[in-house]
């Protein structure tokens, strides 16, 4: 079982619609959780970083939520645009004396006109 | 700021050849990370440096892989000898130490080993 599981694997939505991507994790001790956006052929770009005490964080049309008790996070995209088509990667950082990063497999989002 | 710079952007080589990937982190950043990304395995952390010192190399797949950071503005990832299964996109990222988790990625090097 993956330590950081993302769902769905892929998603197709129409331009202007909203969508929510899920990330569930099992690893600990938790330090922080990050969402990255990766356009095709480019490196990942950080969208949000959330620590244990943060429940919600927004970055423009992107809103991330975190429930550290249930070990779940979501990324909500409002009023999607064609440029939102990308892979969205959830990353959990744990602190075991040193920091260790565990990557989810990503959700591939396609926004259609 | 130019961001993280990687070279080459694309590399095609034959099995058995030595491959050297290069990275210039963002000026002032003192943590540097090498990642590998494949369709099958996604993103994997290979090694990370802090103040030019390798801190965690547990992700380096085998002895054919080595990484160096001779100074704060340059790092290399070397594969010798290369194998077809090394084909992947290799990313370098850097961050400020006090914001360990705020990593900035380079554009990546797409390596193809035939």
Per CB-CB distance under 8 Å, the chain A contacts of B91 are 43-44
In angstroms, rounded to a whole number, what is the distance separating the alpha carbons of residues A29 and A89? 20
3-state secondary structure at position A84: helix
pLDDT digits (tens, 9 = 90+) for B27-40: 999 999 999 999 88
DSSP calls for chain B: ----EEE-SEEEE-TT--EEEEEEPPTT--EEEEEEEETTTEEEEEEEEETTEEEE-TT--STTEEEEEEETTEEEEEESS--GGG-EEEEEEEE-GGGTT--EE---EEEEE-
In angstroms, rounded to a whole number, what is the distance separating the alpha carbons of residues A34 and A47? 7
Which residue from B minimizes the CA distance to A32? B101
Beta bridge pairs of residue B78: B20, B66
In angstroms, rounded to a whole number, what is the distance separating the alpha carbons of residues A104 and B105? 17
Q: Output the average pLDDT for chain B.
A: 93
In angstroms, rounded to a whole number, what is the distance separating the alpha carbons of residues B48 and B63? 16
In angstroms, rounded to a whole number, what is the distance separating the alpha carbons of residues A17 and A110? 12
- Yes or no: say if B62 and B11 are a contact pair by the CB < 8 Å rule: no
Strand segments, DSSP code E, in A30-69 are: 30-38, 45-51, 56-59, 62-67
Question: Do β-strands B10-13 and B109-113 pair in parallel, antiparallel, or remain unpaired?
Answer: parallel
Closest CA to B108 of B87, B93, B86: B93
Which residue from B minimizes the CA distance to A90? B43
Say yes or no to pLDDT of B98 above 90: no
**Greatest mean pLDDT among A9-13, A96-100, A101-105:** A9-13
Mean pLDDT, residues B49-72 taken together: 92
B108 pLDDT band, cuts 50/70/90, is very high
Mean pLDDT check: name the lowest of A85-99, B16-30, B93-107. B93-107
pLDDT digits (tens, 9 = 90+) for A25-56: 999 899 899 999 999 989 999 999 999 889 99
Closest CA to B54 of B42, B43, B40, B66: B66
Which chain A residues have any C-beta within 8 angstroms of a chain B C-beta?
A: 31-32, 34, 41-46, 49, 89, 93, 98-101, 103-106
């Amino acid at each position: 079982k993956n330590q950081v599981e993302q769902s769905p694997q892929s998603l197709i939505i129409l331009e202007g619609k909203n969508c929510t991507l899920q990330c569930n994790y099992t690893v600990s001790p938790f330090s922080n959780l990050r969402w990255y956006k990766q356009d095709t052929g480019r490196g990942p770009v950080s969208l949000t970083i959330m620590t244990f005490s943060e429940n919600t964080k927004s970055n423009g049309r992107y809103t991330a939520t975190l429930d550290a008790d249930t070990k779940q996070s979501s990324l909500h995209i409002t009023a999607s645009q064609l440029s939102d088509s990308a892979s969205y990667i959830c990353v959990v950082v744990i602190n075991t004396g040193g920091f260790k990063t565990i990557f989810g497999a990503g959700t591939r989002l396609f926004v259609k006109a | 700021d130019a961001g993280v710079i990687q070279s080459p952007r694309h590399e095609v080589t034959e099995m058995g050849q030595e491959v050297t990937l290069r990275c210039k982190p963002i000026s002032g950043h003192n943590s540097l990370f090498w990642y590998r990304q494949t369709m099958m395995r996604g993103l994997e952390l290979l090694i990370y440096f802090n103040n030019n010192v390798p801190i965690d190399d547990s992700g380096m797949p085998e002895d054919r892989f080595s990484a160096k950071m001779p100074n704060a503005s340059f790092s290399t990832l070397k594969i010798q000898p290369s194998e077809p299964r090394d084909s992947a996109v290799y990313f370098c990222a850097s961050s400020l130490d006090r914001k360990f988790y705020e990593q900035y990625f380079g554009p990546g090097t797409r390596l193809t080993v035939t």
